[in-house]
Structure 1
Amino acid sequence: MPTVPIPLIARNARSGVNGTGLPEQLFHTAKGTEVFSQKHSRAIKIAQVNLGRRYAALQECLKTAESQGIAIILVQEPYVGAKAHVTCRHRVIQKQTNDTQKPVKSAVIVVDSSVQYTVNPDIITENIDACKFKICNHYVAIINIYMEEAQDVEQDLRIISNYRNILDSENIIIGGDLNAKSPWWGCDVEDRRGTAISESFAQLELHILNTGKTPTFWAHRGNRDYTSIVDVTACSNGLLNK
Structure 2
Amino acid sequence: MLSEPYVGSSKEVKSIYGLQVYQFPQDRTVKACIIIVPKLGTKMIGLAQYSTPNMCVVRLDDGNRKILLVSIYVEPNEGVHGTLDRLEHFLKLHPNDHIVVGGDFNGWHPVWGSSRNNNRGDLIIDLMNANNLYLCNTGSTPTFETVTHGRDRSSIIDLTLATGDAHDWVENWRVDVTICPSSQHNAIVFQLENQCQLPDNNSSTSTYRYNSKHANWAAFRDILLTNMASEDIINTDLNIVSMARLEVIIEKVTEVIQHACSESMPVKRAGQKPKPPWWTDRLENLKAEVVSLHRQIHSAKRRGEALGALLAERQLKKTEYAAELKKNRPKVSEISVSCKIKKMSGHSPIGFLKMRRQESRQPQLSWVTAIPEIDKTQQMLY
Asked if these proteins are the same fold (TM beyond 0.5), I'd say: yes
* Among 67, 74, 82, the residue aligned to 1:140: 67
Aligned residue in 2 for 1:92: 21
- 8 Å contact kept, 2:47–2:59: no
Q: Structure 1 stretch 162-171 or stretch 120-129: which is displaced more?
A: 162-171
* Among 16, 23, 33, the residue aligned to 1:107: 33
Pair 1:125-2:52 in alignment: yes
Q: CA deviation at 1:168?
A: 6.4
Larger radius of gyration: 2
Partners of 1:121 and 1:154 lie apart in 2 by 17
More strand by share: 1
Coordinate RMSD, CA, aligned:
2.2
| TM norm structure 2 | 0.41
Q: What is the 5 A alignment of 1:1-242?
A: 74-87=1-14, 88-89=16-17, 90-97=19-26, 99=27, 102-114=28-40, 115-152=42-79, 155-166=82-93, 170-220=97-147, 223-241=150-168
**SS, match of residue 188 in structure 1:** coil
| TM norm structure 1 | 0.63
Unaligned runs of 5+ in 2: 170-382
Unaligned runs of 5+ in 1: 1-73
Partners of 1:95 and 1:129 lie apart in 2 by 7
More helix by share: 2
One-letter code aligned to 1:188: S
- 8 Å contact kept, 1:116–1:134: yes
User: RCO higher in 1 or 2 (8 Å CA, sep ≥ 6)?
Assistant: 1
Partners of 1:196 and 1:125 lie apart in 2 by 20
Partners of 1:240 and 1:202 lie apart in 2 by 14
Structure 1 runs of 4+ with >6 Å offset: none
Q: CA deviation at 1:147?
A: 0.1
Return closer, same or farther for 1:169/1:132 CA change in 2, 3 Å cut-off: farther
Partners of 2:159 and 2:80 lie apart in 1 by 15
Query: How many correspondences in the alignment?
Result: 166
Return closer, same or farther for 1:117/1:78 CA change in 2, 3 Å cut-off: same
